[in-house]
Amino acid sequence: MIYFDNSATTKPFEEVMTAYQKAATQFFANPSSLHYLGSDAERLLMRTRQAVAEQLRIETEEVIFTSGGTESNNLAIKGIAFQHQTRGKHLITSSVEHPSVLEVFKELEQNGFEVSYASVDHSGKVDPEEIKSLIRKDTILISIMSVNNELGTIQPLEEIGDIAGMYPKVLFHADHVQGIGKVPLSLKKAKVDLCSISGHKIHGLKGTGILYVRKGVLLSPLFHGGGHEANRRSGTENLPGMVAFAKALRMIKEKEKKQLNELIHLRHHLINQLNVMEQVIVNSPLSGAPHIINVSVPGIKPEVMIHALAKKNIFVSAKSACSSKQPDVSSVLKACNLKESVTKSAIRISLSYSNTIEEADLFLKEFNSAIRYLEKGR
């Protein structure tokens, strides 16, 4: 099996599963319970939070555990919008954000907020100058992803952060779900106020993730109840999930430290070879994230290509998994002003640290023969 769909989700690390199971069986008690089983669980919870904070070089109270990227994005955007709506009701994002960001903004537009969507160039990149020009007196939030989930384009977060930093009332949210563990982001340097991270994209488990909220930033919660996570996310803590997240984060950070160059090399190898194929157009910028390659084979429906490759036990995606069931063209590629033949035929190859050059070569071979075969039916 060649699994090249790691931006959709990743296979959990063995160590993550073991940690989850151990935490779920040995520390099942509610961390809020007063007896010592509860206090053991609470100690583990505190230590887990500390481990996550250490990995991200932030403070423990800046970590809110959530159920994943979608919740983190919702909590960040709605949380800031509702908390600070008296300051202003204008928000800024880009036209290539993940649906868990874009749909939230659409919802807010229904509720009296005004949203400006920054455009992107043909590689999917936003222009910090445009962001700057969109800022108004009543702007309260800028939300930009670190890495585009379809193209792998890396957004200039440090520059945007510098701009946001000049406006004390404008908070800056970064959706770092695709970037974590592959594209280094210094939260301090990029002056990020809120940052979403998901567990299942880094070989952790579904239903786990965090939102970083810089100390001093207030946000209104989505969930009300027992006041967990310092009143910002009520609900009995998913302690084993948090443990699994911390473990996955530690492991991906280690791999990033040791294997990032290998991954970059693997991607370059694939891009070079794909560029040689005359039917193939590489949509991702060469300088993009080291794990995402978006290509188009004009004339061949992505769905058909995916099934053809799956027959050979090779797994890739069309667009992002979250929107691939909708039949229309990729809205991200459309926003990049690419031709319709390209936007209608895009395929996403997404890598992990465990993929090899051998797998890449086998993929290229099968991809090539699939194109030849499918071209006949064009």
Q: Going residue by residue from 42 to 81, which x/- string records binding to other proteins, judged by CB under 8 A?
A: xxx--xx-xx-----x--xx--------------------
Q: Which of 106, 189, 311, 365 binds other proteins (CB under 8 A)?
A: 189
Q: Which of 11, 22, 122, 339 binds other proteins (CB under 8 A)?
A: 22
Residue 47: CB minimum distance to other proteins, A? 5
Which among 36-44, 169-177, 304-312, 344-352 is the span making contact with other proteins, rule CB under 8 A? 36-44
* 1 makes contact with other proteins (CB under 8 A): no
* 30 makes contact with other proteins (CB under 8 A): no
User: In terms of CB distance, is 218 or 230 closer to other proteins?
Assistant: 230
Q: Which of 1, 14, 25, 34 binds other proteins (CB under 8 A)?
A: 34
Catalytic residue check, 336: no
User: In terms of CB distance, is 61 or 328 closer to other proteins?
Assistant: 61
Which among 67-75, 136-144, 245-253, 356-364 is the span making contact with other proteins, rule CB under 8 A? 245-253
**Other beta carbons within 10 Å of 358:** 9
Q: Which of 8, 19, 300, 336 binds other proteins (CB under 8 A)?
A: 19
Which among 15-23, 135-143, 146-154, 337-345 is the span making contact with other proteins, rule CB under 8 A? 15-23
Given the residues 222, 322, 362, 364, select the one marked as catalytic.
322
* 36 makes contact with other proteins (CB under 8 A): yes
Q: Return the active site residues.
A: 322
Binding interface with other proteins (CB under 8 A): 19, 22-23, 34, 36, 39, 42-44, 47-48, 50-51, 57, 60-61, 188-189, 243, 246-247, 250
